[in-house]
Structure 1
Amino acid sequence: MVAPRRAAFAEESAEVEVLYANLDKMKSLTKKIQGSMTRLETSGKMVQDAIGPIYGNTQRLQTTNSNIDHILEAIGRIREPLDMRNREERILRSPPQRVGLGEYIASIDRTNQALRELKQSNLRSNQQAISELDGLLHVGSQQLEDVFRDILRQDAQPVEPLHFITKQLDFPRLPQNKTSQLRTINAHVASPGAQRPPSETQGTPTAKAYAEVRGQYLTLSLQNLATASISMTRKTTVGVLYKKDSSGIGTYARGIQGLYTAEYDNICPIFPREEWGAILSNTCQSSLNAFASTLRELDTHITENILTDCFLAYEIVEVVSNISYQLETRTGELKQAMSEALRPVRETAKSSLSTLLNDTRTRIQQTVALPADGAAVPITSETMTRLQEMTNHISPLSSILTSLGDRGWSTSTTASSASSTPTLKSFDVGADGAKLFAHYASDMIDTVLSNLEKRASTSLRSKSLQGISLANNVVIVDRMIRSSELQPLLQGAQPRLDAWRKKTTALYLDGWKETSMYLLDIQYTNRGARPSSTGTASALDSAAILKQLSSKDKDAIKEKFRSFNASFEELVAKHKAYKMEREVRQALGREVQMFLEALYGRFWDRYHDIDKGKARRRTGQSGVVPTDELQGVVGQ
């Protein structure tokens, strides 16, 4: 048992000794490793001290190399526009037709891009190159302007507007392919790099070119219409009232509207939206100046013939106002320019209203004598003819009368309203133009009749003749109202005419008052009641009345019969001799009948037996006048 145990201990002891031996070797190796690490650290420090400066220099060299590369790249980019200048100059200095419009515009685009890059570099050394490219773009822009003008001139031959108006055709527009080319050219000429300084021109060069070329086209196209408007107006017979549409101004205006509308349709696809109005105004300016000149010439003609041609002024106001509104609605422009061109004619139209009134008043006052037979004077029918013609111009007259205000056609008010200062009446938005015209026409009629009444009172001997003269003129006024478009407009004037009729009747019957006095006698109420005057009792009553009279009273009655007959015969003769309108003769005859018949019937009932059995001739005898003689006056 002991021996095996000793063997085991010996074996373990041997293993322990081996372990101790290995441990000693490990310690020895550790010391060697520590020594090697110390030496390595020392060597690393020496290497670091030696290599550190070299590494720093290397980094700086790398940065320098990188900067040099960037500089070389920038120099390359700078030199690239300079290198391409020679290539683009060859294209831009050649005619666009030779190199092709598309290639020419592409060259401008490349040059613009190069110019922008040079300006962004902000290098002083590039200023010369920038200047050269600016000059090159200027050359290209001018070349494109010339192409722009050439394209416009291809369709700038003047047209005859009358052809399109009479056949109701649309006025010509630029072809779509050309508007596309013009739009492209305008976009490049108007670019910031190609545009001229604002101080040198108004708007873009292409806008100015368009206004020049197309403006001349419009002016020449409208020239014949302007000439025709003036010549047709001057061919009017002197002294004859102007009739609506007798002038060429309506055709002229329609030509302007058609051409301007077509021009607006041309402008829209070529230029930016914000430029449409200005370009249209500039394009139309020359033809508008010619239009304004034509209106001034027509205004001079109207002023010289205001009494007959004021209606032309009304027509011009209507026509120009209408096309001005339509153009403003369609394009948003030209309303102010059209209004300025119309201003002289409109002022003449406004002043004509008072001129017509004053002329009518003056002509009547200066009349040497009214017709001795009581006939109507020509000025009445002339005045009514003017008013009838005015009904063909109600629309412009409504505008003019509204601007004047009610009764503003009087001399003092009209003179003030012609100034540029607006009045409160000018802003009366509730004014009724038709009603204002009715007031004006009524004033005109009153002017005629009132002045004729004054003139008749001084130039005609008897009131009866004065009444006939005035009645004839009143009837003509009434007849011309009822037979024309004045009737619905002047319905409110009938009471005034009725008042004039009553006045003329009163004047006429004044001459019959003396005749009626012969039919008056003295009755004594205490001598019994007046018997009935009907049937058989009439004769009995007349005989009974006569029995109560003395011889002297009977002679007085006979004398009254004779005097009445003589006076009646004289007045009937005058009544037949007077110049009366049919309505006047009938109306005054009825008035005489109504005035005398009651008196005559009473006198006849009482005293007709006084000449019983004798001839009833009125002249030189005592015969009485039967009632049917009075009734006969009405139809004579």
Structure 2
Amino acid sequence: MDDETAEIELLEQNLNKTRQISQRMTTILTSFDGRLVKLEKSILPLYNSTQILTKRGINIDSALQKIYEVASNQEGIAAEEALILRGPQSDELEAYTSALERLNASIAFTSGDRGARDTARLLDTGTKKLAQLFTKRIAEASSGTPPDSGMPPAPPRDQLRPLVAALRALPLPATHPSHPASAAVLSTLKEAQRGYAEMRGAWVKKCWEGRGRRMLERVETEGEGNAGAAGKEVGRWVDSLLDAIQAEHTLLDDVAPLPSQPHLAAAHAALLGPPLSLVSSTLSSLTSVIKRSLHRYTFLALAVYGTLSSLQPHWDAVISASISGSNGAQKADGFNALKEAVHALRGVCMRSFPEFLADVKMAALGKPGAELGTGIADFTASTIRYLEQLPDVREAVGAVLLALGDGNWRMGDGVQVNKGPKLGEGSEKVILEHYVYDVVSTLLTSLTTLSRTSRRPAFGSVFLLNNVSHLRTALLRPRAPIYSLLPKPTQESIHSAFRTAKATYFDASFSPLIQALADDKDKVGSGSKAATKEKFTRFFDLLEEVRERHRLARVLEDDEDDRGMLADEVTKLVVPTLQRFVQRHKEKEFSKNPQKYIKLSPEEVEAQIRSFYE
């Protein structure tokens, strides 16, 4: 028992020692783990830095290897000099550009200033010869006989692109500020780019100059009779030239040796100069032609004005895009050529409206020494043609009249204008109706005044009736071009003038017949047989005069319906009066031989009157 107890005590003592040892080991391991964490944190940045340094070491080794390679190539520079001085050949362009690249790279490793300068001069020489080849290819594509289409052919881009790529790869001050050849290279490329712009601009002008001359000749010849088509042809010429400019803009962006914005904008401005000056001179010549004979080319001016005004947005978009980023000094001459031409044409058009009204008013004076006829007056026909052409250019007319001001076309009339609300954009139809009303009113006034100057009033009345009827027929047909622009007051004034002209015609030609048969109660013996005989004699003498007058002066010759209406009205006016007079005096037996005085029966008189209008 004592032995067992002793063993147990010994085991407990060993167990306590083991527990103490375990605790010390746990403490040591925990401390060791913490130190490992701290060590890891300390070593991690060093590890990362070591990786970066390793990569840099690899890069340095690669750079040194390249340097050794380039340095080893210096021995061949002397051999490449002959290739550079000979200039690029079409079949050796790649070899030539490779030689330039090696020269450019060797400058960085040339020992001594003299060696670098010699290499830089050689590089400059190579650049100039490369630029000469570029200029030569542009010149070849920008010469010869202009194509019939006017669109200038573009240089072959597949030949230019390798050359342009080589030029763009050369050192410039912006990218290689310390390079000894960069300034000379920049100067050479500037000159090449300026030469490109000048050649292509002159070529575009040459291609479109001939078409412009032919266009002016056709417009001058056909512009009076077919103003709308002539105006569209001018617009097509300008629009096609804009397409050519746009194509040149794209081409220049693609093949410019200096593609940076300032250099590119200056080149675009230089390229645009010749074609824009062509537009300016051509449209100026057209305006001069119109000014010299405005009465002939009024509608040509309006048609061209309307066409060019509609092209202004396209013009601004193309020209602005071509020189975007340019400053005032680089802005192309003629940038506002179209706007200036439109402004000049608008001034001409504004002048045409009061001048036309003045011409219509002056027509009332007649031609000095000329006898007034009974046919359609020249100024009546020309005014109708003028009015019938207005709808073809109504937008241009409305815009110009708004710029002129409502009523200002009556300048010199002694009337106050600009009364009422001021018309603005959107009122083109209203102001056009006002102008048409004034034209019609002026024409009617001139016709009435001129008819009263005739030494034979009866012929003057026929003249007035024929002209007013012709105006009425031409304008008031529902299918007439101008009908939609005739407001109610204008239509009423024409109808009123026709009624007045008809009444004047009746009064001058047939009222004397009625008066010849009327009883004159104040005259002594007016009811006697002698007076009756005198009345019949007077009536038939006057009827013969009317018949002879209508044989010389045809009434409403071109209007069968109005002639028939007029014949009905005249017979209703004359024949019943004659019938009553004959019936009344036949019963009184005013003569033993009444047929001697009653030369025609009422029915025969009616037939004769109707024959006036056949």
Q: Same fold (TM over 0.5)?
A: yes
Q: 1:468 maps to what in 2? A: 462
Q: Which has the larger radius of gyration?
A: 1
Q: Secondary structure at the match of 2:255?
A: coil
Kept after mapping to 1: 8 A contact 2:364/2:446: yes
Q: List gaps (5 residues or longer) in structure 2.
A: 1-59, 323-334, 414-420
**What is the correspondence of 1:345-364 to structure 2 with a 5 Å cutoff?**
345-364=345-364
Kept after mapping to 2: 8 A contact 1:115/1:133: yes
Q: 2:447 maps to what in 1? A: 452
> Matches of 2:339 and 2:107 in 1, distance apart?
48
Matched, 1:259 2:259: no
Q: List gaps (5 residues or longer) in structure 1.
A: 1-69, 119-124, 414-423, 524-549
C-alpha distance after superposition, 1:268-289 (max 9, x if no partner):
4335595777654532321221
Question: Per-residue deviation at 1:503?
Answer: 2.1
**What is the correspondence of 1:62-461 to structure 2 with a 5 Å cutoff?**
87=77, 90=81, 95-97=87-89, 100-102=92-94, 139=125, 141-158=127-144, 160-162=146-148, 164=149, 172-178=153-159, 180-181=161-162, 183-184=164-165, 187-188=168-169, 191=172, 192=174, 193=176, 204-232=190-218, 241=225, 245=229, 249=234, 252-253=237-238, 255-270=240-255, 279-321=267-309, 324-328=312-316, 332-333=320-321, 336-365=336-365, 367-368=367-368, 371-389=371-389, 391-394=391-394, 396-411=396-411, 428-432=424-428, 436-461=431-456
C-alpha distance after superposition, 1:194-247 (max 9, x if no partner):
8869x999x95554233112112112212322332344456679xx75665569
Count of residues in correspondence between the two structures: 507
Question: Per-residue deviation at 1:469?
Answer: 1.1
> Matches of 1:445 and 1:243 in 2, distance apart?
22
Which amino acid in the other structure matches residue 474 of structure 1?
V
C-alpha distance after superposition, 1:425-444 (max 9, x if no partner):
8x932133x66555444433
Which amino acid in the other structure matches residue 260 of structure 1?
I
Kept after mapping to 1: 8 A contact 2:364/2:450: yes
C-alpha distance after superposition, 1:572-599 (max 9, x if no partner):
4434432333236545444433444565
Question: Per-residue deviation at 1:371?
Answer: 4.1
> Matches of 2:199 and 2:399 in 1, distance apart?
37
> Matches of 1:182 and 1:408 in 2, distance apart?
64
Kept after mapping to 2: 8 A contact 1:474/1:497: yes
**What is the correspondence of 1:578-617 to structure 2 with a 5 Å cutoff?**
578-582=553-557, 583=559, 585-596=563-574, 599=577, 609-611=587-589, 617=595
> Matches of 1:404 and 1:392 in 2, distance apart?
20
Which amino acid in the other structure matches residue 453 of structure 1?
T
C-alpha distance after superposition, 1:523-579 (max 9, x if no partner):
9xxxxxxxxxxxxxxxxxxxxxxxxxx997464666555544444443344344323
Which amino acid in the other structure matches residue 587 of structure 2?
D
Kept after mapping to 1: 8 A contact 2:235/2:311: no
> Matches of 1:182 and 1:628 in 2, distance apart?
102
Question: Per-residue deviation at 1:126?
Answer: 9.9
> Matches of 2:405 and 2:74 in 1, distance apart?
74
Distance 1:572 1:214, change over 3 A: same
Distance 1:501 1:110, change over 3 A: farther
Kept after mapping to 2: 8 A contact 1:296/1:345: no
Which amino acid in the other structure matches residue 291 of structure 1?
V
Q: 1:545 maps to what in 2? A: none
Distance 1:571 1:211, change over 3 A: same
C-alpha distance after superposition, 1:235-263 (max 9, x if no partner):
679xx756655697567446524533432
What is the percentage of aligned positions where both structures have the same residue? 19
Q: Secondary structure at the match of 1:154?
A: helix
Q: Which range moved further: 389-398 or 495-504?
A: 389-398
Q: 1:61 maps to what in 2? A: none
Question: Per-residue deviation at 1:505?
Answer: 1.6
Distance 1:519 1:581, change over 3 A: same
Which amino acid in the other structure matches residue 499 of structure 1?
S
**What is the correspondence of 1:460-499 to structure 2 with a 5 Å cutoff?**
460-462=455-457, 464-481=458-475, 482=477, 485-490=481-486, 493-499=490-496
Kept after mapping to 2: 8 A contact 1:371/1:377: no
Matched, 1:626 2:606: no
Which amino acid in the other structure matches residue 494 of structure 1?
Q
Kept after mapping to 2: 8 A contact 1:230/1:298: yes
> Matches of 1:467 and 1:195 in 2, distance apart?
92
Question: Per-residue deviation at 1:305?
Answer: 2.5
Kept after mapping to 2: 8 A contact 1:257/1:323: no
> Matches of 1:397 and 1:570 in 2, distance apart?
49
TM-score (norm 2): 0.65
Distance 1:345 1:133, change over 3 A: farther
Distance 1:388 1:190, change over 3 A: farther
TM-score (norm 1): 0.63
> Matches of 2:572 and 2:163 in 1, distance apart?
89
Once superposed, what is the RMSD of the aligned Cα atoms? 5.1
